[in-house]
Structure 1
Amino acid sequence: MTAPTTATDVNQPSLQPTAPTGRRMSLPVLMLVIAGALALTSIVRLITGANGITNVSQMSTALQLAVPIGLAGLGGLWAERAGVVNIGLEGMMILGTWFGAWAGFQWGPWTGVLVGIVGGCLGGLLHAIVTITFNVNHIVSGVAINILALGATRYLAPLAFEGHQGGSAKQSPPVDSLGHFSIPGLSGWLDSLNDQHWFFVSDIAGLLGGLVTDVSWLTLIAVALIPASWYILWRTPFGLRLRSCGENPVAAESLGVNVYKYKYLAVIISGGLAGLGGVFLSIVANPFYLEGQTSGRGYIGLAAMIFGNWMPGGLAIGAGLFGYTDSLNLRGGSANVHALLLLGALLLVAGAIWLAIRKKYVKAAITFVVGALVFAWYAGTNEVPNQVVSATPYVVTLVVLALSAQRLRMPKADGMQYRKGQGK
């Protein structure tokens, strides 16, 4: 029996869609949905005059805020596809921020990137030992790692950073920049096109301009990891074996797959990706480590992964959505959030119509009433309180997860305890 056949045979049954998941959205349909959402956003921009909601600066900031969330979510995806729940992403990100800044200010930023990844991998290794070898509850282990990482970095920071210029008990000395780049010609052309404020065209220009203007090299690496993970997990024998461990580890073992090995590799890679997200925060987003720097992004990354239905593409969309709402805090937050109330009302009304077409009249009525209330809020005010602006990313996280819950399908053996020899 060849290795590819083993992996495929083991994993094939688990890849069949089950009833709760519904039909998977094809790429053309997904692109149409994204285009429709962008067109609706453009209409809202023209009505409200809030040009900032799709300008290049807004999109560039959103991308920067989405990267650490996406990396944390990608780490969670690797672990959970192998059947290990990784609530410890936040702690692994914290380790990445500290180790990255510690090595970065001494030996350069790229060394900091590598050491930060290693720091996250150490957190992943600890989680793997506790959950895979000793069969400790995955949630308990993840929470413990979050607490341990926070305590360890609080202890190490004064020892490593005090006495150095710019360093303190809660902050590292500054780290040199990794460098940024813009695509000559294209960046300026898209910026000019965005400034025309045309319907739809200027909004697309703003979105694309944010992707090619003042971009960090680490951002480029992070974006490339999305398709790379998809290819490895869904188009290689290694990925098929790994996913079989998350669907049916007993059957995988019975066909010769070393389940322990693949689970360990997946969780260590998961920690490394989360650590890279932490490095992004302490070297790119800010050129120094700062206590509390992750601000719950590990948990939001986990939410992005769930929103994306444990798929890299959906995860990227979820991370972009959360990064965009977070960017509203930094650039004209109150005016932009007020304009997005109209967008939310229109989306809710559209959702009510769709539910009515599908003869779900009670849900349609509730959705329509909520949409009417949101529109009344928009029409009756000129701005929203700053507290609402600050809470927007977390509210969006809860709403999106609530709306997407019906179509989710986690790996069948995700979080289940497994002991070697069960398949023999």
Structure 2
Amino acid sequence: MTADAVLTPTPGASAPAPTRGRRFSLPVLLLAIAGALVALAAVRTLTGANDLTSNGAVRAALQSAIPIGLAGLGGLWAERAGVVNIGLEGQLIFGTWFGAWAGYHWGPWVGVLAAIAGGALGGLLHALATVTFGVDHIVSGVAITILAGGVARYLSQLAFKGLPGGGVTQSPPVPELPRWSVPGVSSLDGLERKHWFLLSDLAGILRGALTEVSALTVIAALLVPLTFWVLWRTPFGLRLRSCGENPKAAESLGVNVYRYKYYGVVISGALAGLGGAFLSMVASTIYREGQTGGRGYIGLAAMIFGNWRPGGLASGALLFGYTDALQLRGGSKSVHALLLFLALLLLAVGVWQLVRRRLAVGAIAVVVALLVGVWYATTDSIPGEFVQAAPHITTLVVLALASQRLRMPAADGQRYRRGG
């Protein structure tokens, strides 16, 4: 029997039963989203922090979340193949530079392709070091990130210095990618400005999400279900995931583990490169040194929060992007109002855990919710340092809350040798 026959799902065969309590059903998930939206609308109404659901905040949140989500998707592909890709930050840097360079000379779509190729090149270097030569995954990833910063500065010296608006630390302005709007949504502006409970909030969210949307935003959104379909619904994805779970068993069935690890890491770099293109061609129309701002590492955090699955990863990226957008647009008032929303959210999580008889986790969540509520009630603002750190604190909080349900691929980060 061939490896294809063994590792191809049999039509009509029943799938293994999922672990109890690990996933939400679709109705429960939709109910949770609706509840969070109602709570957010209530907080906005009570506090007067209208930026919580404004179209500008939603648009800024998407703009912040897309590169994080693409980096996280890249990490997902690599780790499902068994390779930890700490080098995502460096591959983002390659994407920002190559996207701006090619976009300036040959147009934005060529820039996107060049960014993907630059990120894939960084992924290839990481695969060569970790898969072929057995270098520690963390050491290789950090080295690639350091290398990427140096290479980008050297190439900028050669390619951008002397051009109008260009220099050692930045590129000239890059042509923009097309933007699209859903017809009729922009007319909701009047409803949003009335600040009615829930209706105005929905209008603001729809306007922010469906007007002036960049083509790369649409592509990034489509890559989330595409990744799920490829990795969980195709023989190729099954073989790749088997390399991250049990490479020796995959090898015994005839899978070329080295090849599939290379596939995973190179695709990982390409996705991170696409995230870099978003930073230099959509979020900004120029490449700047230090533009990535640690988003590769935050993407890894979003991937872990999402339990190594595309849907959860997208949720984590949106959460970080939202808090980042609020601290940039609304400042102290919006982040202070977010404390009340966080208290309500933690209280709901605590009650849910208590109902499920997870008494320790539920009690901790309820106590923290009360403390956050007291903090909100006894203050009118929060320190500016906390405002700036809010996105990073959010990342730590959600990772702490999610830690008990996480399960990484069994062979993730382990050195593999054929026949070993």
* Band the TM-score falls in, shorter-chain normalisation: over 0.9
Instruction: Please name the residue that 2:78 is paired with.
Output: 79
1:274 and 2:272 matched: yes
Partner of 2:64: 65
> Hey, what does 1:299 align to over in structure 2?
297
- State how far apart, in whole Å, the 2-side matches of 1:356 and 1:244 are: 36
Q: How far apart in 2 are the matches of 1:387 and 1:218? A: 32
Residue from 295, 312, 315 that aligns with 2:313: 315
Q: 1:190 to 1:413 in 2, by over 3 A?
A: farther
Q: 2:9 & 2:54 partners in 1: Cα distance?
A: 49
The 10-residue stretch of structure 1 (403-412 or 381-390) with the greater mean CA deviation from structure 2: 381-390
Q: Once the 2 structures are TM-superposed, how far is the Cα of residue 210 of structure 1 from its aligned partner?
A: 1.8
**Map 1:236-275 → 2, pairs under 5 A:** 236-275=234-273
204-213 vs 117-126, which moves further:
204-213
Instruction: Give the Å deviation of 1:22.
Output: 4.2
> In the TM superposition, what are the counterparts of 1:278-357 in structure 2 within 5 Å?
278-357=276-355
Which letter does structure 2 place at the counterpart of 1:127? H
Whether the 8 Å contact between 2:51 and 2:326 is mirrored in structure 1 is no
Whole-Å separation in 1 of the counterparts to 2:312 and 2:357: 27
Distance 1:38 1:245, change over 3 A: same
Separation (CA, whole Å) in 2 of partners of 1:284 and 1:351: 36
- 1:6 equivalent in structure 2: 6
- Quote the Cα distance in structure 1 between the aligned partners of 2:189 and 2:241: 42
Q: State the partner residue of 2:55.
A: 56
Match of 2:208 among 210, 220, 223: 210
Letter paired with 2:147: L
Give the Å deviation of 1:282.
0.6
CA RMSD of aligned residues (A): 1.9
Q: Which residue of 2 aligns with 1:110?
A: 109
Deviation at 1:353, TM superposition (A): 3.0
Describe the shift of the 1:302–1:253 C-alpha distance in structure 2 as closer, same or farther (beyond 3 A): same
| Partner residue in 1 for 2:232 | 234
Deviation at 1:347, TM superposition (A): 2.1
Distance 2:22 2:100 in 1: 45
Correspondence for 1:24: 23
Contact 1:88/1:145, CA 8 A, preserved across alignment: yes
Distance 2:226 2:360 in 1: 43
Structure 1 residue 360 displacement after superposition: 4.8
Q: How far is the alpha carbon of 1:182 from its aligned partner?
A: 1.2
**Could you tell me which of 391, 395, 418 is aligned with 1:397?**
395
Q: Structure 1 pair 330/229, CA: closer, same or farther in 2 (3 Å)? A: same
Aligned partners of 2:267 and 2:359: how far apart in 1? 46
Query: Counterpart of 2:316 in 1: which secondary structure?
Result: helix
Q: Secondary structure at the match of 1:241?
A: helix
Match of 1:192 among 186, 190, 193: 190
TM-superposed deviation, 1:111: 1.1
Q: 1:7 to 1:359 in 2, by over 3 A?
A: closer
Q: How far apart, CA to CA, are the structure 1 residues paired with 2:91 and 2:162?
A: 26
Identity over aligned pairs, percent:
64
Counterparts of 1:56 and 1:202, CA distance in 2: 10
Whole-angstrom distance in 2 between the partners of 1:221 and 1:144: 30
Report the Cα distance in structure 1 between the residues aligned to 2:18 and 2:247, rounded to whole angstroms.
19
Q: Does the residue aligned with 2:197 lie in a helix, a strand or coil?
A: coil
CA shift at 1:242, angstroms? 0.8
Which stretch has the larger CA shift, 89-98 or 325-334?
325-334
Q: List aligned pairs for 1:134-173, cutoff 5 A.
A: 134-173=133-172
Q: Which secondary structure does the structure 2 equivalent of 1:176 belong to? A: coil
Distance in 2 (alpha carbons) for counterparts of 1:367 and 1:305: 23
Identify if the C-alpha distance between structure 1 residues 257 and 44 changes in structure 2 by more than 3 Å, giving closer, same or farther.
same
SS in 2 for 1:328: helix
Alignment gaps of 5+ in structure 2: none
8 A Cα contact 2:2 2:254, kept in partner: no
CA contact (8 A) 2:65 2:322 kept: yes
Deviation, 1:196, is 3.4
Q: How does 1:92-111 map to 2 (within 5 A)?
A: 92-111=91-110
Instruction: Decide whether the 8 Å contact of 2:71 with 2:295 is kept in 1.
Output: yes
**Quick one: structure 1 residues 69 and 155, their matched pair in 2 at CA, closer, same or farther if it must change by over 3 Å?**
same
Map of 1:370 onto structure 2:
368
CA distance in 2, matches of 1:244, 1:133: 18
Instruction: State the 1:53 CA deviation.
Output: 0.3
Distance 1:107 1:60 in 2: 28
Contact 2:327–2:334 (Cα < 8 Å) also in 1:
no
Over 3 Å counting, the alpha-carbon distance change for 1:17 and 1:165 in structure 2 is farther
Deviation at 1:385, TM superposition (A): 2.4
Contact 1:22 1:407 in 2 (8 A): no
Deviations 1:162-192 (A, max 9, x none): 111101111111101112121221x224433
Counterpart CA distance in 1 for 2:398 and 2:102 is 38
* 1:116-137 C-alpha deviation (Å, 9 max, x unpaired): 1111011000000000011111
State the distance in 1 between where 2:202 and 2:4 align.
Answer: 42
Aligned CA distance change for structure 1 residues 360 and 310 (closer, same or farther; 3 Å):
closer
Unpaired runs of 5+ residues, structure 1, are none
- Measured against aligned partners, the alpha-carbon deviations of 1:294-316 in whole angstroms (never above 9, x if no partner) come to 00000010011111111111111
Q: 2:9–2:235: 8 Å Cα contact kept in structure 1? A: no
Query: 2:123 is aligned with what amino acid?
Result: G
SS at match of 1:293: coil
The residue number in structure 1 matching 2:32 is 33
TM-aligned CA deviation for residue 365 of structure 1: 4.3
Q: TM-score, normalised by structure 1?
A: 0.93
Amino acid at match of 2:378: G
- Return the TM-score normalized by structure 2: 0.94
| Superposed structure 1 runs of 4+ greater than 6 Å apart | none
What is the deviation of 1:159? 1.8
Which string of whole-angstrom CA distances, capped at 9 and with x for unpartnered residues, describes residues 91-148 of structure 1?
Answer: 0000111111111111111111111111101100000000001111111111111111
Residue aligning to 1:133: 132
Equivalent AA in structure 1 for residue 90 of structure 2: G
Once the two structures are TM-superposed, the CA of residue 9 in structure 1 deviates from its matched residue by 7.0
